[in-house]
Amino acid sequence: MSEDGNFDVIVVGSGMSGGIAAKEFAERGMKTLVLERGKQTERGTDYVGEGMEPWDMEFRDRVDPKLADSDYAKQQTCYAFRESTRNFFINDRENPYSEAEGAPFAWLRGDQVGGKSLMWARQSYRWSELDFAANKADGHGNDWPIRYADVKPWYEHIERFVGISGSEEGLPQLPDSIFQPAMDMTCVEKAAKAGIEAEFPDRRFMIGRAAHLTEPTEEQLSLGRGSCQYRNQCERGCSFGAYYSSVAGALPAAERTGNMTLMPDSMVERILYDPATKRATGVRVVNRKTKERQDITARVIFLCASTIGTLQVLLNSTSETFQNGFANSSGVLGQYIMDHHTRIGAIGRMPGFADKYFAGRRPNGIYVARYSNLDNRTDGEFLRGYGYQGNSSRSSWTRALGGSDFGAGLKDKLRQPGDWYLRLQAFGEHLPSADNRVTLHPSKTDPLGLPQVHMDVRWGENEKKMRVAMKRDAVAMLEAAGAADIEPFETESIPGHCIHEMGGARMGRAPKTSVLNSYNQCHDVENVFATDGSAFASVACQNPSLTFMALTARAVDYAAQKMKEGTI
C-alpha cells in the first residue's frame, strides 16, 4: 500500500466498536481503512474449536498447563480460555505489560480480526438515565455530557442490526431494547422468579438479554446469519453467525459496500499530527510480522482499539504540541480507569423438579436488574449498585469426579441427572478515581519496540462495602427461591477480570477536565475520535458492549456530517 491510500477514515481496531465504525462509514460512502493488530480471521474457517468434543482434543479442552503458565499467564484466568478457544487469545509472553506493585491487573485480549467480539459473553443491556446522571448526582467523576435520550435512538439502530433476544420488563433503571423473542427460562428459574419477586417486590428476575438471533430479520439473513442452534460453544466462534460478532455482522456489511479496506497484523504506533493545521494527518503502523513501519493518511481517525489499546496509542502519540499524550491538554488522559467487580455470589440446591430436564444447551442465563440506590442517594452503605447474572442446571456425571464410589452401582447412578442448582453472581459498579490509571513504562518495551503499558488500578472502599451486600443479597434471594444447602462464594477478583475495563479518555463538558466531547471527539483535535470503552466517564453495572456500539454509531453520524460540511 502506498503512503497515500486516499482514505477518508482510518478505524483502529475491528472488534465491537471498530466493526460498527467501519460499517457506518462504509455505508455512507466513505473510503474506510480498518487497521487490526491481530491476525486475519475468516468466519468458520478459522474457528478451529467449533463443534469439537473434549475427546477430540489432546488435552480434553484444557490447555496444556505448561503452555498456559508460560505463554498465557493472564489469559488463562478468563472463563472462556480453553484448548478450543486458545487461538483467539493473545500470547502474554509475546505481548507483555507491567503492573504496579500490589495492583495486579488481568488484561484479557483477543488477537484476531473481530477482537473480543468473538469471545464475549453476549449480554446486552441498555444504560439508563440513572447511569448517565450518577456522576453529577453523587460527585464522583465528571458529569457525562450526554443523557439517555441522546443515546436511545442509537441503541435502537444497533439493536435492529445486531439482534438482541430478551423480554420486556418496563424498568426505568434497565430500559427495554428492541427485542427478538426471548429464550425460555427453565422450570427452576421460573420457580425462583416467583419466589424472589414475591419476597422482594423491588427485584426483577428475568431471562438474560443476549445478542443471539432467535428470529432473524431479512438484513441479518442477507449477511448469512441464522438462528441460534443452542450449542453453547459461542466462544469458539459460530459459523451460523447466530450470535453477534463483527466478523459475522459489521465487517461483512462494510465489505459489501466496496468501501472498506482491512489490514490485519497492523499495530498502530502513534497518531501523526500537523501543528500548523491542528489536525491529525494519519497514523504510523508497524507490521507485526515484518516490523516495518509505514505512515498512512486520512481525513478522520476513529480509535476503537479497546480501552487500553486506545490509551496506548494516545499516550505514545507525543509531540512538541502534546508532550504528555495526544489531545491531553486536560492532563487526565490515562486516569479514571474502571472495571466491574465480580466473582461473588451464592449457589444453592433446588429441591424437587426431578422429573424435569432442559432441551438444548441455552447460551444464555438469567439477570436480576439493579435495585439499590435507584435515587442515586449518598447516605447508604455504599454508592451506586449492582446486578446479578446466573443460571440453573442439573448436575451431570462429573459429580462423581474425585469421589470414592465405583462399580456398577455408580454407573447406574450416573445415568440419571443429579440435583438442580441455581447460581447467582453479582456484578458491581467501580467508582471513577484519578488514582486508577494507565501510563507507559519509562524503560520497558515490547517486541515491536513500543513502550509497555503500565497498569495501576485498584478497588476502593466503596467496592469493598458493596461486596458485603452483593454476597448477602445473593443468599437471601436463593432462600426466597426455595434453595437448600446454600453456599456463598467469593474468589479473587482483580481489575480486568470482568473484561469491562473503561475510562482513561473520558467524555466531558469541559476541555479542562476531559479528553472527549459529547460526540466522542477530542476537544484538542477535531478529526480524532475515540468510541470504545476509553471514552466512558463511569461504568454503571450493566455489560457495556451495547453502549460501545451505540455511541460509536452516534459519533460516526456526527463525524460524517461534519466531513460532508467540510469542517473536518
Question: Per residue of the chain (568 residues), what is the pLDDT tens digit?
Answer: 434 568 999 999 999 999 999 999 999 999 999 999 999 999 999 999 999 999 999 999 999 999 999 999 999 999 999 999 999 999 999 999 999 999 999 999 999 999 999 999 999 999 999 999 999 999 999 999 999 999 999 999 999 999 999 999 999 999 999 999 999 999 999 999 999 999 999 999 999 999 999 999 999 999 999 999 999 999 999 999 999 999 999 999 999 999 999 999 999 999 999 999 999 999 999 999 999 999 999 999 999 999 999 999 999 999 999 999 999 999 999 999 999 999 999 999 999 999 999 989 999 999 999 999 998 877 789 999 999 999 999 988 888 888 888 899 888 888 889 999 999 999 999 999 999 999 999 999 999 999 999 999 999 999 999 999 999 999 999 999 999 999 999 999 999 999 999 999 999 999 999 999 999 999 999 999 999 999 999 999 999 999 999 999 999 999 999 999 999 9
For residues 120 and 513, is the Cβ–Cβ distance under 8 A?
no
CB-neighbour burial class of residue 149 (10 A; exposed 0-12, middle 13-18, buried 19+): exposed
For residues 374 and 173, is the Cβ–Cβ distance under 8 A?
yes
CATH number of 7-122+243-339+438-443+500-565: 3.50.50.60
Q: Which pLDDT belongs to residue 398?
A: 82
d(CA 193, CA 70): 44
Q: Of 204, 220, 222, whose CA–CA distance to 212 is shortest?
A: 220
d(CA 348, CA 392): 10
Q: Which amino acid type is present at position 293? A: R
Element (H, E) at 132: helix 129-138
* In the chain, ranges of CATH 3.50.50.60 domains: 7-122+243-339+438-443+500-565
Residue 69: count other Cβ atoms within 10 Å of its Cβ.
11
Q: Of 177, 302, 298, whose CA–CA distance to 558 is shortest?
A: 302
The set of cell numbers assigned to 518 is 459529547
The set of cell numbers assigned to 97 is 505489560
Q: Which pLDDT belongs to residue 37?
A: 98
d(CA 144, CA 151): 12
Beta bridge partners of 270: 284
